[in-house]
Chains A and B, each alone.
Chain A
Amino acid sequence: MRTLRFLLEKEFRQILRNRQLLRTLLIAPLIQLILLPLAADYSVKNISLVVVDNDHSPFSQKLIAKITASGHFRLTGYTASYKEALQMVEQDKADIALQIPIHFERDLVRENTKQVYMAVNAIEGTKANLGSTYLNSIISDYNTDIRLRWQSIPSAPTTANTSSTPTTPTPGAATSPTPIVAATSSTPTISTSSSNWYNPYMNFKLYMVPAILVVLITAMTAMQSAFNIVQEKESGTIEQINVTPIKKHIFIIGKMIPFLVLGLILFTLGLLVGWIFYGIIPIGSLLVLYASLLVYLFAMLGLGLLLATYSGTQQQAMSLAFFFINIFNMMSGVFTAVDSMPGWAQAIVSTFPPSHFIKIMRMVVLKGSGFADIIYPLTAMAAIGLFLNTWAVLNYRKTT
């Protein structure tokens, strides 16, 4: 026990003496935490639209006006031919090309049906999805409008329904589209009333800030712990420690605790930043958050330790850690949802501690989940942490 105390004293002194390092470890992540969630916005606004109107009739003009009035789209082009419109999509000047064919109004009235053509740049799935859905629902609304107007004769009009309006991100908990139901409708209609729970203002920052904080902590803890030990290996001081009667596990605990403390400090500062700059106050209990944080740090420091046992030079440690961190960052559900992945990928992701911790963070901060709710990710993290740490301790040899 005494040896542990002395070890810890040495470690903390070394860290505190290295001012440049402290700055990189604490200040850089916080600055990134402040600036980067501003960039992390998946909401789809200002979809650029190019329109080809071959009909030039009141119907087509009204449709175009309705589309541009919706606020989702920005009319960036009004070309004479479909070919030109497609060129604009090629050049990234427009995301969607809409063509209203000739005789649009005439055929709608006479033959009761007419097509309109949409070409969507589908490289980015979310934008394509949402863009086409919005456009479809606006066209459907417009359809209903002209039908009603065309048939606004005193006899019972046929039904109309607008349950197709998408839940546009408007503030307020419930957005219920009121159906335009005629007084005596011959066909019944179902309408939906939708509400958004836990994030009524559809604020992306609430979703991204906890995740970005986890990303920053991951990078810091895994890399730093690996680096620290390997630095000793490179400079030769580890030889001196190895010849002392110090026990393996005391040495390892002595190395891990300072970074555990640093991780806790960074997390606390991160929560403060989230509160001050983004107004994010965790709904769940802080106890749950910190307990999960401890388990998570245990797992990540174990990983760093493991990597250190396999590295001879700092460059190697860096390469290995970078490999894992990069994969963690992309696959742990920070930027894309884990649920969208195929089964085998989800299985792989479940072995990553960050994916569990990000899930826990989002659940506790946004929904107020308690210990009972997070028991599965928590135990998963603990199990992985135990595995990594045991492997690392077994692998570490005092004698080379």
Chain B
Amino acid sequence: MRQLLTFIRKEFLHVFRDRKTLLMLFGLPIAQIVLFGFALSNEIKDSRIAVVDYSKDPVTTHIISKIAASDYFDIQRSLASADQLQTAFKKGNIKLAVIFPSGFGDDLMHTGNATMQVIADASDPNQATTITNYMNQIINDYNAELAKDAHQPMQIVPELQMLYNPELRGAPNFVPGVMALVLMLVCTMMTSVAIVKEKELGTMEILLVSPFKPIYIIIAKLAPNLLISVLNLFIILLLSYLFLDLPVKGSLLLLVTCSILFILTSLSIGLLLSISAKTQQAAMMGSLMGMMLPTMLLTGFLFPIENMPLALQVLSNIVPSRWYFIIVKRVMLKGLGLTSVWKEMSILSGMCLLLFAISLRKFKIRLQ
């Protein structure tokens, strides 16, 4: 026991003496939460648009002023002709263009119908759909104004309530995702590189010839990373509560337990990686290239998993951060309890045990 404690102390000293790595270990989650919590959002406001008004009558002026008054749009240009649209789009200055044909107001009054053109830059299809819809809504409102005097019978009034996140902030979706991502990547990378570094430097040989059992070596290596990750977790939760107005609605104990489970799983993955890598570079590149993008994309916080092709949906089941993300959302944002997350918890525990067992098995006590 004393031997183990001594080794753990040695590992801690290693980690805490390295200031620059510490900066990354603690600085990254903090920077990410603060930046992403505040900066990332799916809301679309102040989209820059251009207006081409061939008609210039009171009707079009009224509509244009309505558009300008709306939060959703920011009229960048009033172009003289539609030919200038291509250039404006190509420069990336505008996202949407509205064209009023000549005689718009006259058509409206005489024939009862006038059509205006809405052109969206569909490079980002979702954005295009959303702002086109916003524009349609404004036109709808205008039509309703026109029709106000004719008492419209049979009006269905939809009452909308946004649950859990009424202001549609980005933070509730991104903070759990960033938590899952950062914890997983940091644990995996740090562990794998730490073990391979000893292999490279040759000190692993010394450890192996000692009467020290291999499992103690592993525990000693994992201990400082476990502690750092738990500290990180608390820092993230504190920051979310203080700055992002995201308190933990559910049981804190449950959240911390599941997080520790997740951290252990990531540490095991790092362990597994370290066994197959020969150089630090390989370990790092492996965990970065092999884990970063897949984890980002398949966790489910950037892109909904149900949108993906079936093969990738199946693949996402293997990514532990996917299950952790669900747990964090349910416990932290919705305030649910053990009954709602027991399924995900058992999957995580299963993965953790399995990975740990495999890495213990494969840990070479001889140098090959």
Contacts and interface: CB of A to CB of B under 8 A. Distances in A.
B270 interface: no
B343 to A, nearest CB: 11
Interface in A112-132: 112-130, 132
B282 A310 contact: no
A319 B160 contact: no
B123 A118 contact: no
Nearest to B130: A129
A350 interface: no
B102 interface: no
B161 A169 contact: no
Contacts of B21: 315-316, 319
Interface in B76-128: 87, 89-92, 95, 108-109, 112-128
Contacts of B31: 323, 327
B262 to A, nearest CB: 18
A130 B158 contact: no
A68 interface: no
B135 A112 contact: no
A328 B114 CA distance: 46
Given A194-B120, A345-B38, A327 B32 contact: yes
A159 B144 CA distance: 11
A345 B303 CA distance: 22
B297 interface: yes
A326 B132 contact: no
Contact of B119 (A25, A195, A342): A195
Which of A24, A190, A200 has the most chain B CB atoms inside 10 A of its CB?
A: A190
A322 B189 contact: yes
A341 B40 contact: yes
Contact of B155 (A43, A143, A196): A143
Contacts of B367: none
Nearest to B307: A41
A189 interface: yes
A41 to B, nearest CB: 4
Nearest to A166: B133
B320 interface: no
B39 A341 contact: yes
A78 interface: no
A21 B282 contact: yes
B290 interface: yes
Interface in A342-373: 342, 345, 348-349, 359, 362-363, 366-370, 373
A303 to B, nearest CB: 15
Interface string A146-182: 1100110000001101011111110000001001010
Given A38-B308, A147-B154, A330-B40, A318 B284 contact: yes
B334 to A, nearest CB: 6
Contacts of B133: 130, 133, 137, 166-167
B253 interface: no
B153 A112 contact: yes
Interface string A285-326: 000000000000000000000000011111110111011001
Contacts of A195: 117-120
Interface in B251-298: 278, 280-282, 284-286, 288-290, 292-294, 296-298
Contact of B90 (A128, A223, A340, A368): A368
Nearest to A223: B288
Nearest to A134: B133
Contact of A120 (B18, B123, B161, B189): B161
A46 interface: yes
A209 B118 CA distance: 27
B56 interface: no
Contacts of A29: 289
Nearest to B98: A192
Interface in A90-119: 90-92, 108-109, 112-119
Given A125-B43, A196-B120, A115 B158 contact: yes
A391 interface: no
A316 B306 CA distance: 38
Contact of A158 (B18, B113, B150, B182): B150
B1 interface: no
B127 A337 contact: yes
B308 A341 contact: no
A184 B133 CA distance: 28
B35 interface: yes
Nearest to A24: B285
A312 B18 CA distance: 10
Interface stretch (B165-173, B230-238, B347-355): B165-173
A363 B136 contact: no
Given A39-B312, A195-B119, A188 B113 contact: yes
Contacts of A362: 123
B140 interface: yes
12 contacts: A108-B155, A112-B153, A133-B133, A143-B156, A158-B153, A167-B136, A197-B89, A198-B89, A219-B289, A227-B281, A340-B45, A367-B89
Given A108-B154, A319-B23, 7 more contacts: A108-B156, A143-B154, A150-B154, A163-B140, A193-B115, A311-B20, A322-B28
Interface of B: 18, 20-21, 23-25, 27-28, 31-32, 35-36, 38-48, 63, 87, 89-92, 95, 108-109, 112-130, 132-133, 135-137, 139-140, 142-143, 146-147, 149-166, 168-170, 172-173, 178, 182, 185, 189, 193-194, 197, 278, 280-282, 284-286, 288-290, 292-294, 296-298, 302-304, 306-309, 311-312, 326, 329-330, 333-334, 336, 340
